[in-house]
Structure 1
Amino acid sequence: MKDFEALKSIWHDQVTLPKVSHEDVLKNLRKTRNGLASKLLIEMIGMGIAAAVLIYVWIASPFTMWTTHLAMIISISCCFYYILAMISNYRRINYDKLLDRPECYINHLKKYKHDRYIFNTRKYKVFSIFFTAGFILYFIEISFMTSLWVTVMVISFTFLWIAFCFVLMRTYIKLEEAKLEEMIQNLERLHKQFEDTDQ
């Protein structure tokens, strides 16, 4: 009986969450979604510029070693892979045809969040390994044209830059995960609110 009274007390003291407005949730959802889509678009454009520069350098420079040509193929392939992945993610985050079916849209966002996490962790590591390998292969030929200390300095800077990108990526992942989780929680709360109203 004592346990029942304690449980009853907790039940009555529990603060109910304030009701959320359907319009406010959709407005915030679109704002967050547009922010995430804009970042993907900027990444796409940046990688497109990088691919164009690499193609221009490959065509315009008289490279003689096979390692440099392999480096260019690897680097340009990495750029195109990243661009295609960003196009896919951009289309998925902008997909709002499920807004009239909240449960389906919540599942869509959960799957998108999971897939983005895999892309930003596992696939990004593989992408970085290939991109770094391309960069190192490129510098084999460059090392014959420049002094040793310039080559060492550039390769050291490259590895420092990659390490810095991994640190930034952790922050990027946390921010993106938080935004996607907020979208999901707001939609779940709104969905539960409608379910409670229907009962």
Structure 2
Amino acid sequence: MKDFEHLISVWQGQPKQEQLSVDEVLKQVKKGVRSITSQLYWGIVAMVVMVALTFVITFFFVFQWLTYMGLFIMLITMMAYAARIVRNYRILNKHDATQNPTDYLQDLKEYQKNQAKIAGWFYYMYVMLISLGLSLYLVEVLDSAPLYYKIGFYSFTIIWILFMTFYYKKRIFKNQEEKLNLIIDRLERLQGQFES
């Protein structure tokens, strides 16, 4: 009985969570979502430019069949990645947080689940296919280049792919995940205020 009374006193001694201001939370949520959607928007712009450039190279230059295979692999992979980015962008821009915060919270959780998939297998698949396509493309393009130029270019490409895979991916996805977790936490706390 003594332990139970001690437990109650400790529980009652816990500081109460301060009440969140609805306006302040919604302002912070909009700012966080705007930051994420801005990154997605520029990702979409970059993908559209890269797809257009690859399309022009593929259909307006003459290559051997192996080079075309590499270009088509890159083109299809970039279009698939662009479709995922556009989908996530639409999820975040679909609703206004002030209209229906419960639906908005569900959309954010769906976006978070999609990001977990992208951060996992899809990103590695994307890098692997882009690397394969680039390798097939470079076989013909660098065929007549001097050996030191080939070694330098291949080395730079390998270092760039490793950088994008192991450093940049973790940094970008971790940053987005932290922002998203903070936004979801604030909305859940706000929702909890109104339910209790």
What's the TM-score once normalised by structure 1's chain length?
0.91
Deviating more after overlay: 77-86 vs 37-46: 77-86
Structure 1 match to 2:21: 21
1:37 matched residue in structure 2:
37
Provide the C-alpha distance between the structure 1 equivalents of 2:133 and 2:195, rounded to a whole number of angstroms. Answer: 54
Letter in 1 for 2:140: E
Which ranges of structure 1 fall in alignment gaps of 5 or more residues?
Answer: none
Give 5+ residue unaligned stretches, structure 2.
none
- The reply to whether residue 72 of structure 1 matches residue 71 of structure 2 is yes
Matching residue of 1:190: 190
Q: Which moved more, 1:102-111 or 1:72-81?
A: 102-111
Matched, 1:169 2:169: yes
For residues 166-199 of structure 1, give each alpha carbon's deviation from its aligned partner in whole angstroms, at most 9, with x where no partner exists.
Answer: 2111011111111111111111111111112xxx
Contact 1:139 1:151 in 2 (8 A): no
| Cα separation, 1, equivalents of 2:103 and 2:56 | 45
Deviation at 1:103, TM superposition (A): 3.6
1:11-65 CA-to-partner distances (Å, cap 9, x unmatched) read 22201111001111111111111111110010010111112222222344332x2
Write the deviation string for residues 89-134 of structure 1: whole angstroms up to 9, x where unpaired: 1000112167544444323222210111111221011111110000
Range 145-154 or range 28-37, more displaced: 145-154
Q: Is the 8 A contact 1:29 1:183 kept in 2?
A: yes
Aligned-pair identity (%)? 29
- Name the amino acid aligned to 2:114: D
- Aligned twin of 1:107: 106
Amino acid at match of 1:93: L
Map 1:92-131; keep pairs closer than 5 Å: 92-96=91-95, 100-131=99-130
| Structure 1 runs (4+) greater than 2 angstroms displaced | 55-62, 97-108
Matching residue's letter, 1:121: G
Matched, 1:53 2:53: yes
* 1:141 paired residue number: 140
Alignment partner of 1:144: what SS? coil
2:13 & 2:135 partners in 1: Cα distance?
63
The 2-side partners of 1:70 and 1:127 are apart by 16
**1:76-91 residue pairs with structure 2 within 5 A?**
76-91=75-90
TM-score (norm 2): 0.92
Which residue type is aligned with residue 122 of structure 1?
Answer: W
Aligned residue identity for 1:191: Q
- Whether contact under 8 Å (2:92, 2:107) holds in the other structure is no
- Separation in structure 1 between the aligned mates of residue 12 and residue 108 of structure 2, nearest angstrom: 34
Partner residue, 1:9? 9
